[in-house]
Amino acid sequence: MEAADVARVLRQHHFRMTRERRALLDLFIEADTLLTPAQLHAFAQARDVDVGLTTVYRLLEVLTKAGLASPFLLEGSIYYTFCTDHHHHHFICLNCRHVENIYGCSATVEPPPGCTVSYHRVDLFGRCARCRSDVNVTTP
């Protein structure tokens, strides 16, 4: 999904697009790591994208409602990552918060008898290849 398409979806959800907000969206899409709203805000400030923390929260809320962001609860904080509109799962590195999408669904968990499933989430948490090799370097 192109950033322009995402902007269109946001407008449909009454999120007013400005140049700064569009820049914020681009930063979030490019991040590839889990970010808290405060971290995304700080990241934007560092790139001279002048938006308030309220706008960051609003963007993440609207994206999540539209299925274009996923929230994760880690160590008591809520982190977000941008998501495409194709069904996928996530690998999350617990060390550097890097996110990789996993396509190809192999979920085989059956619901309890009499229940129907509307959607599912399956996410894997661990150490990414780069963090694992960092460990190997420092291990005597």
List interacting residues with Zn ion (CB under 5 A).
Answer: 83, 93, 95-96, 98, 105, 107, 128, 131
Tell me whether residue 107 or residue 124 sits nearer to Zn ion (CB atom).
107
Tell me whether residue 38 or residue 122 sits nearer to Zn ion (CB atom).
122
Question: Shortest distance, CB of residue 105 to Zn ion, whole angstroms?
Answer: 3
Question: Shortest distance, CB of residue 95 to Zn ion, whole angstroms?
Answer: 4
Phi, psi dihedrals of residue 112, rounded to the nearest 5°: -60, 155
Tell me whether residue 38 or residue 105 sits nearer to Zn ion (CB atom).
105
- Map 73-127 to HEC letters: EECCEEEEEECCCCCCEEEEECCCCEEEEECCCCCCCCCCCCCCCCCCCCEEEEC
Question: Shortest distance, CB of residue 83 to Zn ion, whole angstroms?
Answer: 3
Question: Shortest distance, CB of residue 52 to Zn ion, whole angstroms?
Answer: 26
Tell me whether residue 4 or residue 117 sits nearer to Zn ion (CB atom).
117
